[in-house]
């Protein structure tokens, strides 16, 4: 890749050894500012070309790998620092993890940046290398969704989920490309300064076309749904109190009171509509599958609602515990259940592939069977998402029985007033666009919110407050290309980018990758 005609790029290209590693780390930290909730997207126009300059100037693929690793390490440390908040809740037991957990996870995530940096050297410098780099970056992001238990947190495609109209416009291509495809486009656009003025201008034209597409898609009307009022309840129960049995009745009564207030408000706003009440993940301190008294109390507070969708622990006939969403449609009637199947390592189960045992949350939950659509009489069929299942594109819905809307229940109380809950919210918003389905989200301590099938926010409850919110359930847009083809679209685009980059590889350049001379 040719040198930038700037002193900055020349300086980066002159660095070697630990100085280059430090520069890569600084650039990685800078790039984290593009992530939610900061959205300083222009920093990518500095950090990514800077990384490419360091990759170009590395003498071997090992040097490029190392520089990519330090970039990724600092990028993810800043993007994932909020995980420490969960450990601090159990600090008496796991204080020793505080300085280790985030750096260790960030080091693993950094490998998914380091490998594309090393692999990019297979292509000749210039736009060929940028294409290969972007393709490999996207393939690595796709791999993040499946390796281990998967952790596709903060893909660069999510940087466009800016709150408000601008974000609404910029996330519309996710209906075709998904967040992984937006990541590919974002990497390509961010790399244009490294290729010179013509490429930078071309990137500007592409960005204008992107905006035009987004505005056009937002102008298309969304069909109306059968009249349904959704009452979203946010209990704001601190994590330290959540499983305290001495105050279980207090917590439960808070949810009952908020439910009654929300149902009354829904009846005033739309007297003839069906009402669905949504409680957050594990909101009920009582086991709804076994406690008929708790179910009756919920229904009494919710009457005349059509259904209450509430999170609770469930035990099956064999005594296995599940993290479950219950659909209650009567004083002692359970219309259906959905069990979480993307469980959180260390939080909900001890991974067998880790040689030591750390369990932040006591117990070991069982895995659910996968995406499921629940039918409740009087409501459109819905798909359940529990907690961080909302970060997995193309793994949300039962394709044999697609839902009309998505219900995401979560408990982000573990992560305090950090960037984590805000990043989580934006991930859920991307899923609404990808699937063309409205999504409602009830979070224990926030952020409770609702989005239409184009990802437009319909309302929210601010974090760290108890309250309820009523929204009219919008209709679905119909199946999007991404909902039909899923991850196959960004996979093919990434492979195409790699093929384009490798199409001009010469034998001497392949050997240069391995640091050999011929």
* Range 89-119 burial, b when 16+ CB lie within 10 A, else e: bbeeebeebeeebbeebbeebbbbbbbbbbb
Q: With residue 218 as reference, give the H or E element that holds it.
A: helix 197-219
Is 498 a residue of the active site?
no
Q: Annotated catalytic residue: which of 340, 434, 435, 498?
A: 340
Nearest to 337 by CA among 319, 359, 321, 354: 321
Question: Which of 90, 117, 242, 281 does the annotation list as catalytic?
Answer: 281
Among 85, 242, 348, 387, which one carries the catalytic annotation?
A: 387
As given in the structure block, the two tokens for residue 383 are 């798909």
Other CB atoms within a 10 A radius of the CB of residue 17 amount to 9
Parallel, antiparallel, or unpaired: how do β-strands 274-278 and 307-315 relate? parallel
Query: What is the DSSP annotation of 22-36?
Result: HHHHHHHHHHGGGST
| Measured distance CA(79)–CA(103) in Å, rounded | 11
- Packing angle between helix 61-79 and helix 44-57, nearest 10 degrees? 150
Nearby residues of 457 by Cβ (< 8 Å), 6 or more positions away: 163, 429, 449, 450, 451
Residue with tokens 């601190």: 238
Ranges of beta strands (E only) in 387-511 are: 405-410, 439-443, 448-451, 457-461, 467-472
The phi, psi pair for 333, rounded to 5°, reads: -130, 125
**What is the rounded distance in angstroms from the CA atom of residue 244 to the CA atom of residue 241?**
5
- Residue 271 to residue 255: CA distance in whole angstroms: 22
161 DSSP 8-state letter: -
- In terms of DSSP bridges, do strands 405-410 and 382-386 run parallel, antiparallel, or are they unpaired? parallel
What residues act catalytically? 281, 340, 387
């Amino acid at each position: 890749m040719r040198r930038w005609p700037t002193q900055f790029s020349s300086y980066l290209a002159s660095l070697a050894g630990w100085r280059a590693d430090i520069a890569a780390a600084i650039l990685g930290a800078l790039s984290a500012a593009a992530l939610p909730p900061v959205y300083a997207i222009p920093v990518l126009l500095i950090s990514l070309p800077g990384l490419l300059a360091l990759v170009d100037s590395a003498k071997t693929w090992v040097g490029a790998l190392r520089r990519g690793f330090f970039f990724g390490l600092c990028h993810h440390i800043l993007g994932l620092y909020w995980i420490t908040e969960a450990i601090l809740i159990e600090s008496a037991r796991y204080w020793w993890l505080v300085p280790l957990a985030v750096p260790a996870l960030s080091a693993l995530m950094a490998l998914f940046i380091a490998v594309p940096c090393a692999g990019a050297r297979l292509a000749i410098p210039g736009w060929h290398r940028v294409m290969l780099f972007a393709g490999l970056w996207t393939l690595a992001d796709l791999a993040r969704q499946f390796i281990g238990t998967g952790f596709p947190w903060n893909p660069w495609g999510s940087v466009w989920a800016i709150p408000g109209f601008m974000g609404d416009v910029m996330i519309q291509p996710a209906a075709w490309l998904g967040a992984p495809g937006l990541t590919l486009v974002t990497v390509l656009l961010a790399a244009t300064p490294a290729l010179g003025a013509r490429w930078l201008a071309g990137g500007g034209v592409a960005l204008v076309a992107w905006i035009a597409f987004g505005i056009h898609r937002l102008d298309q009307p969304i069909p109306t749904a059968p009249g349904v009022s959704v009452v979203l309840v946010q209990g704001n129960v601190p994590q330290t109190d959540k499983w305290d049995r001495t105050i279980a009745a207090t917590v439960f009564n808070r949810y009952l009171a908020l439910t009654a207030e929300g149902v009354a408000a829904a009846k005033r706003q739309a007297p003839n509509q069906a009402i669905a009440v949504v409680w957050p993940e594990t909101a009920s301190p009582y086991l709804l599958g076994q406690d008929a008294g708790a179910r009756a109390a919920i229904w009494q507070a919710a009457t005349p609602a059509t259904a209450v969708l509430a999170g609770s622990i469930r035990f099956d006939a064999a005594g296995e515990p599940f993290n479950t969403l219950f659909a209650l449609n009567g004083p002692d009637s359970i219309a259906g259940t959905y069990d979480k199947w993307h469980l959180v390592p260390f939080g909900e189960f001890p991974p067998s592939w880790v040689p030591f045992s750390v369990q932040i949350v006591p117990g070991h939950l069982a895995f659910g069977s996968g995406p499921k659509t629940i039918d409740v009489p009087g409501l459109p069929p819905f798909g359940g998402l529990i907690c961080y299942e909302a970060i997995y594109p193309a793994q949300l819905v039962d394709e044999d029985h697609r839902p009309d809307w998505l219900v995401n229940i979560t408990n982000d109380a573990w992560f305090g007033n950090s960037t984590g809950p805000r990043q989580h919210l934006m991930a859920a918003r991307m899923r609404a666009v990808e699937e063309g389905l409205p999504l409602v989200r009830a979070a224990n301590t926030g952020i409770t919110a609702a989005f239409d099938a184009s990802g437009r926010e319909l309302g929210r409850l601010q974090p760290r407050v108890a309250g309820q919110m009523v929204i009219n359930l919008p209709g679905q847009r119909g199946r999007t290309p991404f909902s039909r083809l899923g991850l196959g679209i960004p996979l093919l685009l990434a492979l195409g980018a790699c093929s384009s980059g490798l199409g001009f590889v010469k034998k001497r350049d392949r050997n240069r990758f391995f640091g050999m001379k011929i």
